[in-house]
Chain A
Amino acid sequence: MLGKPCSLTPLLPQCTVGFDLAIPTLLLTQIMTTSSYAVEMRGITKRFPGVLANDRIDFQVRKGEIHALLGENGAGKSTLMNILSGLYRPDEGEIAIHGQVVEFHSPRDAIRHGVGMVHQHFMLTPSQSVAENVFLGAREIGFVLNPQRMAAEVRRIAEQYRLPVDPNAKIWQLSVGEQQRVEIIKILYRGAEILILDEPTAVLTPQEAENLFVTLRSMAADNKTIIFISHKLEEVLSIADRITVLRSGRVAATLSAQSVTKTELANLMVGRQVLFQLEKPPVQRGEVRLRLDRVCALDDKLLPALREVSLTVHSGEIVGVAGVAGNGQRELAEVICGLRPLTSGTIEVAGERMAHLTARRMIDVGVAYVPEDRNTTGSAPNLSVAENLILKSYRKTEMGAGPFLDLAAVERTATSLVKTFNILTPSIKTPVRKLSGGNLQKVILAREISGQPQVLIAASPTRGLDIGATESVRSLLLQERSQGAAILLISEDLDEIFAISDRIVVLYEGRIMGEFETADAELTEVGLLMAGGRAPSASPGT
């Protein structure tokens, strides 16, 4: 019942034969003799309804290099890599792996040719163990599972590539960085020679990212080919050998990382001049607008999510809350907005202690909220732009008497907000689900800011936005700061926190781990606290 003898060691390129469809010997000799390119994609075109995602893209990656694929959201990076990994099929164009033209019908086909992808959203089942995830779908392990043998194999790969992880741990017990290692081990086990990583650092602390880079460099030195999707300029410059920039579904350029500057890359990526420095006047701290005193709250599973969180935000300042996702950020925002009950502690807004926290009450005292998920929490997707803009102000007398809305007034308000905030929409009657991410975020910001809030809670306000939209959201926040609002910026993007906040607090497992003036804060120190203050390379169980 157990697998064939060779089956658990498909790691050596020759031994990829652990799979039921082995690479023929003929093909192996081709690998050794032909093209220096590991990947050649020629004239790739991919259309989705209403979108030309990839427009005649030519993309080449050399064997053993780290090649970054850079571009904004919607530039077509993920589509191109989903094609290379066999998830999508191109409408036009061809792919050659090691000089041999191939056609992938599924990710399984791609992995047979040594192409494996680590997706941005990990493809791991949380309730199963690391070993089970690694061996999922592997037919050669036989009918009856052999946990010891599976664990030993995972451990072997983990040691060979310095990807420490406990094979018997359940996925939900692991940190995000460890989960990523499991993903990498998973494709290495399947004999991947070409590894595609989709925005791998988006969810990592700076130290975890640095560890990943070390691993990637050693794999490249081991003659593995690595394609690295990113929109972060610094990391692309630090890790990649060569860089291909995509813009609007086309290749803007392919360059060597040594010969290019950050500004040049940004301009290529956006297609225009980019200003990196936002106009940020010195902070004018006023009175305390928001004060949390030893606030505790539970998460949806009724486990403690916030543990004695105390913080203050003054009028005219932005306080950034740094932390890796899932450390209590969402609960923090919801508690302040009256969406989640406190189990203990107090909240004061503008000096007034809030006794009965309800969402309505918090809106009435001037707390505005830009939620993390703009499509579900932040807006009502099927309601129009105008309706979404008045979701918080429709009760006011100027919007109509009693149960009736004064539609003319609604229209006036909406039209003027659309104009002031420069929202691009076909009309104010368009359902907001049809807007782009950036414009939807402007709708939400317009709604929240137009109420002239005392306190503004902004949770990952620029996530998924392109450079242009990010710039305008950040400058809106800075404008509000100049108007005297107290702003709590909750973000996983450390660059963002460092760019616009005046003070930084670090949240880890629901606790405030430290507080800094932004001017004195060190990136490495903040990063360490985000990981719980432990040495970043330590991982439980190994």
Chain B
Amino acid sequence: MELAFLVTLLAAGIRSGTAILFATIGEIFAERSGVLNLGIEGMMLMGAVSAYGVAFATGNPWLGLGVAMAVGGLMALLHGMVTISLRADQVVSGLALTFLGSGLSAVLGAPLVEVRNAPRLPVFPIPVLADLPILGPIFFNHNVIVYLGLVMAPLAWWYIHRTRPGMELRAIGEYPAAADVLGINVNRQRYAYVVFGGVMAGLGGAALSLAITPLWIEDMTAGQGWIAVGLVIFASWDPLRAALGSYLFGAIRRLPLDSQNLPFFLAYPQLGYFMNMLPYLFVILLMLISARSEMRRRIGAPAALGQPYVREERGV
């Protein structure tokens, strides 16, 4: 009984943490390059609404997925232009992007709220592996987009730590002047990673509306974009830790749903309200823990995070 519950919960956690995982990985890249993007929530919402709308209109969920990624990328490009080229404040620009995204998605999505039958991304149990006990249901019996998340986290880690472009990425976020004198085009790379972050946030939004909770309602991300910002810090800018955090968050988020039939909760239905707070309490707790331990370790944020890069031409 308990084991079955745990397996269901973990499988649901991985499924429901996938959206936030994409957004978190994207933000890790943007921040590692030195650009903070607080617009994730807005980009996810726009991704979710455009994915759902396109899938409904064309009948092709894959097209919806692609459009969502493009929309996220375009919104991030706007953020890039404002913060990298015009050197405006990254926090302000990111907040504006979130407001833009949540407002615009609400307006564009209004007619979609009634639609409940847009095509979804398919569930694909992996042959043989899906039949394994315990591991099968947890890892190998999922929507296709969940597998993408499972593959992407280690791939992102490998890119950052084991490839030449990844090495350059770490450098431009930490000491852009050092990269610049060696002929690396700091701002061009920052644009690329910021746009990539937007593409991933759009993908996360699409994962929500096409697979995880396949429908569109206004403000359906319910703060997941903000939680992604927090997870980046918890993960110390590391995609593998981001996967751990995202899936854990997903599980906690699913806890109220999956546990409501347990006898204990049937006796105390009021607990449901408390359980709904858990994901957010969890994030606050994570932030407290990581703030403490990061202080003591030397790993921290990319040193140049939040600062526009200008080749200094002054003084004598």
Contacts and interface: CB of A to CB of B under 8 A. Distances in A.
A136 interface: yes
A136 to B, nearest CB: 5
Interface in A74-128: 74-76, 78-79, 85, 87-88, 106-108, 111, 117, 119, 123-128
Contact of A145 (B164, B175, B311): B164
Contact of A144 (B162, B182, B299, B311): B162
A351 interface: no
A123 B172 CA distance: 11
B116 interface: no
Given A128-B170, A136-B168, A145-B167, A78 B316 contact: yes
A404 interface: no
Interface in B285-299: 295-296, 298-299
B90 to A, nearest CB: 21
Main SS of the interface on chain B? helix
Contacts of B314: 48-49
Given A79-B316, A136-B167, A144-B162, A172 B298 contact: yes
A141 B296 contact: no
Nearest to B176: A125
B316 A74 contact: yes
Interface in A117-170: 117, 119, 123-128, 132-133, 135-139, 141-145
Contact of A136 (B163, B179, B295, B315): B179
A126 B174 contact: yes
Contacts of A76: 316
A127 B299 contact: yes
A123 B175 contact: yes
A430 to B, nearest CB: 20
A127 B174 CA distance: 8
A302 interface: yes
A125 B182 CA distance: 12
Contacts of B166: 145
A128 B171 contact: yes
Interface in B160-188: 162-168, 170-171, 174-175, 177-184
Contacts of A32: none
Contacts of B177: 123
B299 A123 contact: no
A400 B316 CA distance: 42
Interface string A271-287: 00000000000000000
A127 B170 contact: yes
A74 B316 CA distance: 5
A172 B166 CA distance: 20
B313 interface: yes
Contact of A123 (B162, B178, B303, B316): B178
Interface string B146-165: 00000000000000001111
A302 B166 CA distance: 31
B4 to A, nearest CB: 43
Nearest to A53: B316
B181 A87 contact: yes
B156 to A, nearest CB: 15
Main SS of the interface on chain A? loop
B100 to A, nearest CB: 34
B316 A141 contact: no
A401 interface: no
B163 A143 contact: yes
A447 to B, nearest CB: 26
A490 B164 CA distance: 43
Contact of A88 (B167, B182, B313): B313
Contacts of A126: 174-175, 303
Interface string B122-145: 000000000000000000000000
A124 B299 CA distance: 16
Contacts of A124: 175, 178
Given A107-B182, A302-B296, A135 B316 contact: no
Nearest to B182: A137
Given A142-B164, A143-B163, A145-B162, A125 B170 contact: yes
A158 to B, nearest CB: 19
A534 interface: no
A355 B174 CA distance: 41
Contacts of A138: 164, 182
A51 interface: yes
Interface string B179-219: 11111100000000000000000000000000000000000
B171 A125 contact: yes
A106 B184 CA distance: 10
B164 A301 contact: no
A375 to B, nearest CB: 13
A229 B105 CA distance: 59
A108 B170 contact: no
A269 to B, nearest CB: 15
Task: From B181, B299, B303, name the one whose CB has the most chain A CB atoms within 10 angstroms.
Answer: B181
Task: From A53, A145, A172, name the one whose CB has the most chain B CB atoms within 10 angstroms.
Answer: A145
Interface string B261-303: 0000000000000000000000000000000000110110001
A147 to B, nearest CB: 9
A49 B315 CA distance: 9
Given A125-B175, A132-B167, A136-B168, 9 more contacts: A48-B314, A49-B314, A79-B316, A87-B181, A119-B181, A133-B178, A137-B182, A138-B164, A145-B163
25 contacts: A49-B314, A74-B316, A79-B316, A87-B311, A88-B313, A107-B182, A107-B183, A111-B183, A117-B181, A123-B175, A123-B177, A124-B178, A125-B170, A125-B175, A126-B174, A126-B175, A127-B299, A128-B174, A135-B164, A136-B178, A137-B182, A137-B183, A142-B164, A145-B163, A301-B295
